[in-house]
Amino acid sequence: MRDSGRRRRDLLVLSSLGAVLLATSTGTAAAKPPPSDPLQQQVDAVHHTGAVGVAAEVTSPTTRDVARAGAAEKGTRQQVPLNGRFRIGSATKTFTATVVLQLVGEGRMSLEDTVEHWLPGVVQGNGNDGNRITVRQLLQHTSGIHDTGPDIPALTSADGYRAERFRTYTIEELVRLAMQPSPSVAPHEEPWAYANTNYLLVALITQKVTGRSWVQEVNDRIIRPLGLRDTSAPGSFPFILGPHAHGYAFDGSTDVTVLNSSMAVGSGSIISTAHDLNRFYAALLGGRLLAPAQLDAMTTTVNAPELGIRYGLGLAEIPLSCGGNYFGHRGELLGYITWGGATRDGTRTAVVYVSSDGGQDTEQAMTTLMDQELCRPRS
């Protein structure tokens, strides 16, 4: 989930590079790897762009490489935790899309169902029409619905953050906010326009289909079955439990580690680690979470000119400099930025995150890391 117009511009620059994130060093030992370690070199390069803290992990069937750089908290000499927890932002969307596609595979709903079918009267007014928007369009960001992210004070300024960091939003409240302006584009007229509201609506539809909350479905369908012990969907709980680096935003001037992320339910609220995210991507692309038909639907992509890449259902397709591509997702939620993904068969994965705003140089270094690590043969 993006937290300001400036971050939106950073995302465009990042995505136009057409690479993914990742990072790593070798082994799980606490000692810093030698300078010749290519993953550590990549992580150091990200840190040198001004990121407060950086950590990454890269995996293959027989290896697990990790690397880190920078401080866990400004003004201290405490290192970034090797498997620290952080808010994964929009990488949450891949979890949400996976839940929906499981429900489709079970015959409980269809990608061609309209929003109006499941949420009668919710998407109406100011040019919005739930009869013309399908679940597929929500997952694919082709609905034309207004993005609520830039309208949340806690995500747009330091003053707004201090005033609203503990505020709880409901999905219904956020959707009503999105219905106020005219849609940014009309369905079917413009092929792609990013909006976190799409996934707020998907979370609400998931609740209608199952009679259970989005949090319960994500926990029972993905987090628990995969044994992702350091991953959680916190709801309105504002703290990151366990080892973690502090997050900094608004040009690094404000510690934003504490945040009620209820404004990002379904779209950006999950807390995880690089290790857990790698396990998720490996399971997803390896076919352990979705049947072949549903995985094919998720990885069938359309052009996303706003990002300079292609986008499927909660999953981006990013080209690799060595040929081919990988599937993953960028994530950002106030003070934490991540890139993560896997090769098409799920055998190689990479995740990298920073604990600060970042900028064009940081984003470029992260995508370069992702590209080089997923291209580098694993011994």
| Active-site residue list | 90
Rounded CA-CA distance 58/63 in Å is 8
Smallest CA-to-CA distance from 350 within 61, 53, 57 is with 57
Query: Quick count: other Cβ atoms within 10 Å of Cβ 83?
Result: 17
Assigned token pair, 156: 């747009």
Contact 20, 371 (CB under 8 A): yes
337 forms beta bridges with 332, 354
Smallest CA-to-CA distance from 222 within 338, 93, 62 is with 93
Scan for tokens 């269809």, then name that residue. 110
134 forms beta bridges with 114
Assigned token pair, 291: 């049947």
φ and ψ at residue 109, rounded to 5 degrees: -160, 175
Q: What is the DSSP string of 5-25?
A: HHHHHHHHHHHHT--------
Rounded CA-CA distance 173/221 in Å is 26
Q: How many residues does the chain have?
A: 379
Rounded CA-CA distance 68/279 in Å is 19
Rounded CA-CA distance 81/78 in Å is 9
